[in-house]
Amino acid sequence: MARAKPTVLILCTGNSCRSHLAEGILRAAAGDILDVQSAGSKPAGYVHPLAIAVMKEIDIDISQHRSKHLNEFLEKQIETVITVCGNADQVCPMFPGQVTRHHWGFDDPAHATGTEQEQLAIFRRVRDEIRARFTAYATERRSAPIA
């Protein structure tokens, strides 16, 4: 019988940008070995349109993602929690069965100002920073011995 894939939960405050960028990237890089989810401590209720746009540029579709509260996951078996903003790290509860926790902070592109092009540049920079870190994490997970 196949074992269930370990669940990685990516947390941010609003669950509108960074956590969805990370979820899409990690799911693309390791979705065959990990169940990747995201949530927020104070969900914004939407996925930022510029986050969807910059992910489309790298052929990852997050247009069907939804903003979720971390409480949706309190009864689930979460193996790893990764916080991508300081506020989420501070309010993050322990989950049943949680083995690992990481905090990798990234700037919040939702606060970008200026023209749409200037905002897109910030979203792209954060996306690329997230892609570098989460792709490396996927590589680490693939090379780790199975417990």
Of 92, 112, 126, 138, the catalytic one is 92
Cα dist. 39→13, 15, 16, 20, 46 in Å? Answer: 8, 5, 9, 8, 11
From CA 121, how far away is CA 126, in angstroms rounded?
A: 9
Structure tokens at 30: 């390791």
Catalytic residue (one of 8, 12, 21, 130): 12
Q: Estimate to the nearest angstrom the gap between the alpha carbon of 142 and the chain centroid.
A: 18
- The DSSP string of 86-119 is HHHHHHPPPPTT--EEEE-----GGG--SSHHHH
Torsion angles phi and psi, residue 35, rounded to 5: -95, 110
In the residue annotation, 12 being an active-site residue is answered as yes
Tokens 């990685």 belong to 8
Q: Which of 29, 81, 85, 130 is catalytic?
A: 85
Instruction: Assess whether 92 carries a catalytic annotation.
Output: yes
Residue 17 annotated to the active site:
no
> Where in the sequence numbering do the catalytic residues fall?
12, 85, 92
